[in-house]
């Protein structure tokens, strides 16, 4: 942001702080109820009653001064400070859950020294929305002092949030910030002036963040779902307040929903690209139902660089796009040209998943190229992993898709190792019209031969049996269906892997094809149905 922008933002914050120091008028209660459309999880609510917050498979303590602690990843801390977990206590629904919700909100209101993340616009927006959506659960029956302190804080935070716009974050977090300000303006009519300001920025954000094919600009199925959830909530809040939504919103939501259908496997869960977990199919179905009816057919993706090859009962999803740009790459993985392969409702070839709420080591291990079903050169990731995104990355990714008589071809390449080794990875995929024959070719083009491996990570439910000649592996799905993976001109092995597609990590296996630096810089492989 330029100096003029910084000056303007700082001036707005100063004015907001001065206003907050005055004895501001605040309502006794929200004038309009805000509904939370997403279900909570009673088991997580039970953990919260005991003092533990669980999020994306990671647990942190909520004892002592829970909002002053700066321990844990930024993702986990932001979740704690955003209060969306109130839905889990509400889902539990006991008196103890209500009491715990009120206690934790009181802790936040009473603490003088919060984690610095508490003032981030998206965190503030999530918190205001959660407090309003669950007000009747934890605050309506509370004493006057508690309700006055809560409403006063919401007015103060809404004013500060308004001063923070436009949000510095250029990714989906800007939508969460705007959602909070819109919720505050609708639920507290005395502050309706915030609405016009929020809608002004909302129109620009939805047009900037959604690509022409309907995918979210972060190129992460998880971020895609979150953006669609935020926009569905915003639309519902505006409808409740009898306020007009931006003209573009209906079309944007429909495009997001279409693209989301294309990013699902047959089991209904998400593809594991760029910080995503499977997500429960029921949640994805609910998001799509909230988005509204539309075409039931998945979108053809292209602008985002995701490719979907479907034939028979087989589905191949490929990440063949340039990684998200700096500032939009908080969830980006070094998984360019990685693919996943499912048959019906069973996943066969996967990426390892993600643990964005975990600490650096696990988080980065799952972001590395080796955690994806693709080729790796010299044990070096195709993109440089940094705390908040990527450094070195592929700058040129080419992909061309063909289809004829029900069969699919995809030819793709990327230059992620160009600066290090002068190398280009080319991958060709072919899926037969029956869906029972998937063939691939991986080529390393470089002036000097490079050591490389090609990995196929298996879903934990798949069993792998190495054949006697070590030239093939029999893969058995839970249904009993068999597939054979074979390779030419390479050694083949079955090794341990790990799967973070669900909340709890699970043991898994991977098939590893090892190319030789002094041999052909090319591997041809095939995965075919047995019987």
Q: Where along the chain do its domains lie? A: 3-202, 210-301, 306-530
Helix, strand, coil shares, percent, the chain, to 5: 35, 25, 40
Please state the pTM of the whole predicted model: 0.93
Out of 285-289, 357-361, 424-428, which region has the weakest mean confidence (pLDDT)? Answer: 357-361
Return the ∠ at Cα 306 (arms to 247 and 416), rounded to 5°: 125
Could you report the per-residue pLDDT of 214-226, keeping only the tens digit for each? Answer: 999 999 999 999 9
C-alpha to C-alpha distance for 147 and 344, rounded to whole angstroms: 52
Interaxial angle between packed helices 95-110 and 42-49, expressed in degrees from 0 to 180 and rounded to the nearest 10: 60
Out of 91-105, 348-362, 426-440, which region has the weakest mean confidence (pLDDT)? Answer: 348-362
Can you give the three-state secondary structure of 408-456, one letter per residue?
EEEEEEECCCHHHHCCEEEEEEEECCCCCEEEEEEEEECCCCCCEEEEE
317: nearest Cα among 281, 265, 277: 265
Between 7 and 444, where is the model more confident?
Answer: 444
- The correct CATH number of 306-530 out of 3.40.109.10, 3.40.640.10, 3.30.470.20, 2.70.98.70 is 2.70.98.70
C-alpha to C-alpha distance for 177 and 165, rounded to whole angstroms: 9
Tokens for 40?
């909570």
Average pLDDT over residues 228-241: 97
Could you report the per-residue pLDDT of 407-417, keeping only the tens digit for each? Answer: 999 999 999 99
C-alpha to C-alpha distance for 49 and 43, rounded to whole angstroms: 10
* Cβ neighbours of residue 268 closer than 8 Å, sequence gap 6 or more: 281, 282, 284, 285, 345
Average pLDDT over residues 150-162: 95
């Amino acid at each position: 942001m330029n100096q003029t922008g910084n000056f303007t933002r700082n001036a707005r914050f100063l004015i907001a702080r001065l206003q907050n120091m005055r004895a501001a008028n605040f309502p006794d209660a929200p004038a309009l109820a805000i509904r939370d459309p997403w279900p909570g999880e009673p088991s997580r609510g039970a953990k919260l009653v005991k003092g533990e917050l669980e999020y994306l498979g990671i647990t942190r303590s909520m004892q002592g001064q829970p909002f002053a602690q700066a321990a844990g990843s930024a993702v986990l801390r932001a979740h704690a400070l955003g209060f969306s977990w109130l839905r889990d206590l509400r889902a539990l629904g006991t008196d103890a859950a209500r009491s715990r919700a009120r206690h934790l909100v009181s802790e936040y209101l009473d603490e003088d020294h919060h984690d610095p993340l508490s003032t981030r616009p998206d965190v503030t927006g999530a918190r205001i929305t959660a407090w309003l959506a669950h007000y009747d659960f934890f605050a309506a029956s509370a004493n006057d002092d508690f309700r006055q302190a809560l409403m006063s804080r919401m007015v103060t935070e809404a004013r500060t949030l308004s001063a923070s716009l436009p949000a510095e974050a250029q990714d989906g977090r800007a939508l969460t910030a705007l959602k909070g300000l819109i919720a505050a303006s609708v639920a507290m009519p005395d502050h309706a002036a915030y609405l016009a300001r929020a809608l002004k920025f909302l129109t620009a954000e939805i047009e900037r963040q959604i690509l022409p094919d309907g995918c979210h600009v972060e190129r992460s199925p998880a971020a895609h779902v979150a953006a669609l959830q935020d926009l569905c909530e915003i639309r519902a809040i505006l409808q409740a307040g009898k306020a007009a939504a931006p003209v573009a919103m209906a079309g944007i939501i429909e495009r997001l929903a279409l693209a989301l259908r294309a990013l699902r496997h047959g089991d209904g869960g998400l593809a594991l690209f760029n910080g995503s977990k499977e997500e429960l199919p029921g949640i994805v179905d609910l998001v799509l139902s909230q988005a509204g009816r539309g075409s039931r057919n998945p979108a053809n993706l292209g602008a985002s660089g995701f490719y979907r090859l479907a034939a028979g009962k087989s589905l191949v999803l490929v990440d063949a796009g340039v990684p998200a740009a700096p500032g939009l790459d908080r969830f980006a993985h070094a998984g360019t040209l990685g693919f996943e392969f499912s048959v019906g409702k069973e996943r066969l070839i996967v990426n390892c998943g993600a643990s964005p709420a975990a600490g650096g080591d696990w988080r980065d291990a799952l972001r590395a190229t080796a955690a994806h079903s693709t080729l790796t050169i010299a044990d070096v990731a195709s993109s440089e992993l940094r705390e908040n995104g990527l450094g070195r990355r592929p700058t040129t990714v080419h992909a061309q898709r063909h289809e004829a008589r029900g069969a699919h071809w995809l030819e793709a390449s990327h230059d992620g190792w160009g600066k290090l080794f002068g190398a280009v990875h080319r991958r060709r995929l072919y899926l037969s019209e029956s869906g029972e024959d998937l063939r691939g070719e991986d080529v390393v083009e470089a002036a000097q031969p490079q050591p490389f491996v090609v990995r196929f990570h298996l879903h934990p439910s798949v069993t792998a049996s190495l054949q006697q000649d070590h030239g093939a592996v029999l893969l058995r799905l839970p249904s009993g269906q068999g597939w054979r993976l074979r390779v030419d001109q390479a050694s083949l092995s079955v090794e341990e892997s790990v799967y973070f597609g669900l909340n709890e990590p699970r043991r898994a296996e991977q098939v590893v094809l090892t190319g030789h630096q002094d041999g052909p810089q090319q591997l041809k492989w095939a995965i075919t149905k047995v019987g």
